Structure 1
Amino acid sequence: MDNQTISYNNTYILGISFISALGGYLFGFDFAVISGALPFLRTEFALNAYWEGFLTGSLALGCILGCVMAGNIADSKGRKPGLMLAALIFAVSSIGMALAHNLTVFILMRFAAGVGVGMASMLSPMYIAEVSPPEKRGRNVAINQLTVVIGILVTNLINYKLADYGVNAWRWMFGLGTVPAALFLLGVLWLPESPRWLIKAGRIDQAKKVLNKIGNSYFAEQTFAKISTSMDGGGEKQTYSAVFAKAIRPAVVVGITLAVFQQLCGINVVFNYTSTIFEAVGANLDRQLFETVAIGIVNLVFTIIAMWQVDKLGRRPLMLIGSLGLSILYIILAFLLQSNAQANLVSVFVLLAIATYATSLAPVTWVLISEIFPNSIRGKASSVAIVALWSAYFVLVFTFPILAKWLGAFGPFYLYAVICLAGFFFVKRKVKETKGQTLEELETSLIGH
């Protein structure tokens, strides 16, 4: 019978993956907009090192709340309602930041933006993983990272253009976030619910309809059977204590450690504090903003390379290459900053570090977090790992201005080099390859569930 081979509706899968991944674009926007706005915000709100770090990091505090909310919504209401709420929060907070007339209101609005970022950062990769064929899952989840870096690049370009619009340019930088937020909200309305969540919720007919849209009838039957089996006995696993059950704990430890490592590896200080780093070697404001654009372009190009390689080379080799490569590059970069090297030379090694991160830790961490947890508790387990990620991001961006003031802009990079080396050994010892396996096969092999 010709229906005994599995085939996929690749156009449909790519379409719903890209729409879900628009949450990543908004993540990229809120992540990058601060880099271009900081020179203006320092003047507007008379920021010292402490408040500069807290203002930048307030996004991460919101992300932590957003992850917890998203974990609960994803498990109880579904993936789609959570994505819709994230889009709405993005739109409102963008307007709020643009209109803020004092530091307190601005930080509250940036915190709210973080809630949306946190929700999308968890739900978009998880949703894509749940609707993707195993052999294309790495590439499809990496689409989310692609939209993040497109968001970063487009935002940096807009910031660069808006910089000449006077002291209130930053208001336009933040306010324009309402446009992609509205487009994301409209797109999410069209998305189907995740078939894995529908089966868990007992909505069997709807789940079968979605599976029949994703692939042919043989795929739908096989996948339905595998998901149903993996859900057996999982109905009661709805609490956060279930995430730390003995059988699941090894995967949770790996997920949390990778999430923390992705942030404490230090690359996000380059994204968020580009102006601070290049100001340290004498670059003017125009050059500082130009560097944010160059970073965005390199980030985009090498994320595309990662999408091409993540299902070929695999997750583990990319993580090993990235962590060791960053460790070496940071030592060189710290030395250049310490010796007050020319901005052009500093730029070369900053861009090499961005390229290394974009092909490894940036996309692959999100892919692994979306893959390694069982169906029955994927929402809550993912939220625990991503709460850890955003907590680490807050620590990173809050401490950098303070460390840079104490040690000079070069000092923190020696610390990040050590962290990257430690990350290399962790990946080597603890991270298993996941490419090409279904989520249900991974549940058996990684957890023994």
Structure 2
Amino acid sequence: MKNNITFLALIAALGGFLFGYDTAIISGTISLVKAQFELSTSMEGWYVSSALVGTILGVSIAGILSDKYGRKNILVTSGIFFALSAIGCTISGTFTELVLYRLLGGVGVGIASMLSPLYISEIAPAKNRGRLVALYQLAIASGVLVAYFVNSYLLSLSTSNGFEESSEMVRKIYVSEVWRAMLGSEIIPAVIFLLLLLIIPKSPRWLIMNGETTKAKKILLRFTDAEEADNEIQNVEEVLSKRSVKIKELFSGSFKIALLIGISLAILSQLSGINAIIYFGPKILEEGGLQLGEALGGKSLLVL
């Protein structure tokens, strides 16, 4: 039963892998896209940050949609957005199209960043919840790392002689405009994520919220005994029956310190400048005198 829960958590955590992958894969494409579309510095910044605008939108709607349609269904939607973004970036004919597809991918990132850890926390027993939710953070870091290696591999592949007899379209994607292959490579983890989501159950907490307690108990019994399942259902029902609270009440009582620590960590992680390194690390190394291929390889080793 423990292994089943871990497996479900790993599937949900793939949303975090896609988050990290989508965030980092762009790093190898910046100089290539800038040269092809003759971007100004401001347009280059818009290309890099466009996905973040989509992320804001995704985060804004994820809670509302998941409460109405379920965590699983909206996670599937995020996977579809990831896949469509990857395909769209591969075939984009103009810079505007490319940005629009990056925005779409950003929406998927925003949704996954909220619902993947939420789903894990709602499916996992209390005694394993913290450890399993942590898989999401591990998945983000893994996605970032894999993206650098993929970029490095595709760039080296583009300089090989393996596509001499390929069609013009294939040579365009993998040789002359290899950034298309880099951005399009996300289709592989996106499809895997979508297929695996088909086998996970709905969130028991969401089912209880919508009056489907019998279905929720059946799911809980797959991972725990009847007594623990009943306790979990009772706890959820008690929480749902309590009155709503004002935001200021969250910063009082026993949750005050934990909430302040959580908010501080989120703020400090952004102020640390890690996003600038993820996005522009290869470019910084390029401007330091390395070739793009060396920069991507060096960045991968730095992450390790």
The TM-score normalised by the length of structure 1 is: 0.59
Q: Deviations over 1:223-251 (max 9, x none)?
A: 111111111135xx5xxxx6x53323566
> Which runs of no fewer than 5 residues in structure 2 stay unpaired?
159-174
Matched, 1:282 2:299: no
- RMSD value over aligned CA atoms? 1.9
Matched, 1:30 2:39: no
Matched, 1:266 2:258: no
Asked whether the 8 Å contact 2:213–2:233 carries over to 1, the reply is no
**How far apart, CA to CA, are the structure 2 residues paired with 1:260 and 1:112?**
25
Matched, 1:12 2:1: no
Matched, 1:118 2:110: yes
**How far apart, CA to CA, are the structure 2 residues paired with 1:248 and 1:201?**
25
**How far apart, CA to CA, are the structure 2 residues paired with 1:136 and 1:113?**
31
2:188 pairs with one of 179, 187, 198: 179
1:213 pairs with one of 215, 219, 222: 222
1:69 corresponding residue in structure 2 = 61
Matched, 1:97 2:89: yes
- Classify the secondary structure of the residue corresponding to 1:274: helix
Q: Letter of the aligned partner of 1:290 in structure 2?
A: G
**How far apart, CA to CA, are the structure 1 residues paired with 2:296 and 2:71?**
37
- Classify the secondary structure of the residue corresponding to 1:92: helix
**How far apart, CA to CA, are the structure 1 residues paired with 2:53 and 2:115?**
17
**How far apart, CA to CA, are the structure 2 residues paired with 1:77 and 1:209?**
20
Question: Structure 2 vs 1, CA of residues 198 and 107 (structure 1 numbering), >3 Å: closer, same or farther?
Answer: same
**How far apart, CA to CA, are the structure 2 residues paired with 1:135 and 1:47?**
52
Asked whether the 8 Å contact 1:162–1:169 carries over to 2, the reply is yes
**How far apart, CA to CA, are the structure 2 residues paired with 1:288 and 1:130?**
41
Asked whether the 8 Å contact 2:20–2:141 carries over to 1, the reply is yes
**How far apart, CA to CA, are the structure 2 residues paired with 1:48 and 1:188?**
41
Shift of the alpha carbon at 1:118? 0.6
2:13 pairs with one of 4, 10, 21: 21
Asked whether the 8 Å contact 1:89–1:113 carries over to 2, the reply is yes
Asked whether the 8 Å contact 1:66–1:117 carries over to 2, the reply is yes
Asked whether the 8 Å contact 1:12–1:214 carries over to 2, the reply is yes
1:233 corresponding residue in structure 2 = 242
Shift of the alpha carbon at 1:280? 4.1
**How far apart, CA to CA, are the structure 2 residues paired with 1:179 and 1:128?**
23
**How far apart, CA to CA, are the structure 1 residues paired with 2:91 and 2:270?**
30
- Of 264-273 and 250-259, deviating more is 250-259
- Of 87-96 and 150-159, deviating more is 150-159
1:294 corresponding residue in structure 2 = 301
Shift of the alpha carbon at 1:28? 1.8
- Classify the secondary structure of the residue corresponding to 1:247: helix
Matched, 1:200 2:209: yes
Q: How does 1:19-418 map to 2 (within 5 A)?
A: 19-164=11-156, 165=158, 166-233=175-242, 244-248=246-250, 254=260, 256-296=263-303, 298=304
Q: Letter of the aligned partner of 2:125 in structure 1?
A: P
Q: Letter of the aligned partner of 2:33 in structure 1?
A: L
**How far apart, CA to CA, are the structure 2 residues paired with 1:295 and 1:61?**
28
Asked whether the 8 Å contact 2:62–2:114 carries over to 1, the reply is yes
Shift of the alpha carbon at 1:194? 1.3
**How far apart, CA to CA, are the structure 1 residues paired with 2:266 and 2:178?**
34
**How far apart, CA to CA, are the structure 1 residues paired with 2:137 and 2:249?**
30
Q: Letter of the aligned partner of 2:288 in structure 1?
A: V
- Classify the secondary structure of the residue corresponding to 1:193: coil
Shift of the alpha carbon at 1:47? 2.4
Shift of the alpha carbon at 1:100? 1.2
Q: Letter of the aligned partner of 1:266 in structure 2?
A: G
**How far apart, CA to CA, are the structure 1 residues paired with 2:210 and 2:250?**
21
Q: Letter of the aligned partner of 2:201 in structure 1?
A: P
**How far apart, CA to CA, are the structure 1 residues paired with 2:270 and 2:108?**
19
Asked whether the 8 Å contact 1:35–1:292 carries over to 2, the reply is no
Aligned length: 282
Asked whether the 8 Å contact 1:34–1:56 carries over to 2, the reply is yes
| Identity of matched residues, % | 37
The TM-score normalised by the length of structure 2 is: 0.86
1:412 corresponding residue in structure 2 = none
